[in-house]
A and B are shown apart, each in its own frame.
Chain A
Amino acid sequence: MRTLLRFLCLALSLLAGAAEALTPQQTLAIAAGDNDARLAALNAAATSGDARLAAFVQALLDGEVKVAGDKVYLVQGDKATIAATGEPTKVPDDAEDVTNNNRMRGALDAVLSTLRLFSPDLAVRRAAIVDLGKATLEEGQLPLIDKALAAETDPQLKDNLGRMRAAILISSTDRASRLAAAKELASSSQSTVASLLQERLGDGGEADPEVRAALGQALDAVRGRLAWGERLGVIFTGLSLGSVLLLVALGLAITYGLMGVINMAHGELMMIGAYTTYVVQNLFRAYAPGAFDAYILVAIPAAFLVAALVGAVLERGVIRFLYGRPLETLLATWGISLVLQQAVRSVFGAQNVPVENPGWLSGGVQAMSNLVLPYNRLAIIAFAMLVLGGVALLIAKTRLGLFVRGVTQNRRMASCVGVDTARIDMVAFAFGAGIAGLAGCALSQIGNVGPDLGQSYIVDSFLVVVVGGVGQLAGTVVAALGLGVLNKFLEGMAGAVLAKIMVLVFIVIFIQRKPSGLFAMKGRSAEA
Chain B
Amino acid sequence: MKRRFALKAAAAALAASGLVSLPAFAADTIKVGVLHSLSGTMAISETVLKDTVMMTVDSINAKGGLLGKKLEVVVVDPASNWPLFAEKAKQLLTQDKVAVVFGCWTSVSRKSVLPVFEENNGLLFYPVQYEGEELSKNVFYTGAAPNQQAIPAVEYLMSKDGGSARRFVLLGTDYVYPRTTNKILRAFLHSKGITDADIIEEYTPFGHSDYQTIIGKIKKFASEGKKTAVVSTINGDSNVPFYKELGNQGLKATDVPVVAFSVGEEELRGVDTKPLVGHLAAWNYFESIKNPTNAAFIKEWTEYAIKKNIPGHKDKPLTNDPMEATYIGIHMWAQAVEKAKSTDTDKVIAAMAGQTFKAPGGFTSTMDPKNHHLHKPVFIGEIKSDGQFNVVWKTPGPVKAQPWSPFIPENKGKKDEPEKK
Contact = CB atoms under 8 A, between A and B. Distances in A.
Interface in A98-148: 99, 101-103, 105-106, 109, 134
A237 B249 CA distance: 12
Given A354-B269, A492-B217, A364 B250 contact: yes
B39 A446 contact: no
A340 to B, nearest CB: 14
Given A194-B223, A241-B210, A500 B250 contact: no
B270 A354 contact: yes
Interface stretch (B5-13, B135-143, B251-259): B251-259
B202 A495 contact: yes
B39 A376 contact: no
Contacts of A450: 43, 237
Nearest to B237: A448
Given A199-B225, A362-B272, A352 B213 contact: no
B24 interface: no
B249 A351 contact: no
A103 B47 contact: no
Interface stretch (A8-16, A255-263, A310-318, A366-374): A366-374
Interface stretch (B124-132, B238-246, B298-306, B349-357): B238-246
Interface residues of B, number: 59
Residue among B43, B248, B257, B271 with the highest chain A CB neighbour number at 10 A: B248
Interface stretch (B54-62, B66-74, B157-165, B406-414): B157-165
Nearest to A370: B219
B205 A496 contact: yes
Nearest to A190: B223
Interface string B12-48: 0000000000000000000000000011100110010
A156 interface: no
A496 to B, nearest CB: 4
B161 A35 contact: yes
B240 A102 contact: no
Nearest to B201: A495
A406 interface: no
Interface string A331-359: 00000000000000100111111111100
Tell me what chain A mostly uses at the interface: helix, strand, loop, or mixed.
helix
Contact of B223 (A195, A352, A374, A491): A195
A476 interface: no
A493 to B, nearest CB: 10
Nearest to B161: A103
Nearest to A202: B225
B39 A350 contact: yes
A11 to B, nearest CB: 21
A375 interface: yes
Nearest to A233: B216
A500 B384 contact: no
A83 to B, nearest CB: 20
Given A102-B253, A191-B223, A496-B208, A447 B272 contact: no
Nearest to B245: A374
A452 interface: yes
A348 B312 CA distance: 11
A165 interface: no
Contacts of A447: 209-210, 240-241
Main secondary structure of the interface of B (DSSP, over half): loop
Contacts of B43: 350-352, 450
Q: Which range contains the number of A residues in contact with the other chain?
A: 35 or more
A352 B239 CA distance: 12
A350 B47 contact: yes
A63 B385 contact: yes
Contact of A237 (B212, B275, B384): B212
A226 interface: yes
A351 B312 contact: yes
Contacts of B224: 194-195, 198
Contacts of A375: 248
A492 B220 CA distance: 11
B333 to A, nearest CB: 26
Given A352-B44, A370-B220, A496 B203 contact: yes
Contact of B205 (A194, A377, A488, A497): A497
Nearest to B311: A349
Interface of A: 35, 63, 99, 101-103, 105-106, 109, 134, 191-192, 194-195, 198-199, 226, 230, 233-234, 237, 240-241, 244, 345, 348-357, 362-364, 366, 370, 372, 374-377, 446-448, 450-452, 456, 488, 491-492, 495-497, 500
23 contacts: A102-B257, A103-B160, A103-B161, A106-B163, A191-B219, A233-B216, A237-B212, A241-B212, A350-B39, A350-B47, A350-B77, A352-B44, A357-B272, A362-B272, A364-B248, A370-B219, A372-B248, A376-B248, A491-B213, A492-B216, A496-B202, A496-B208, A497-B203
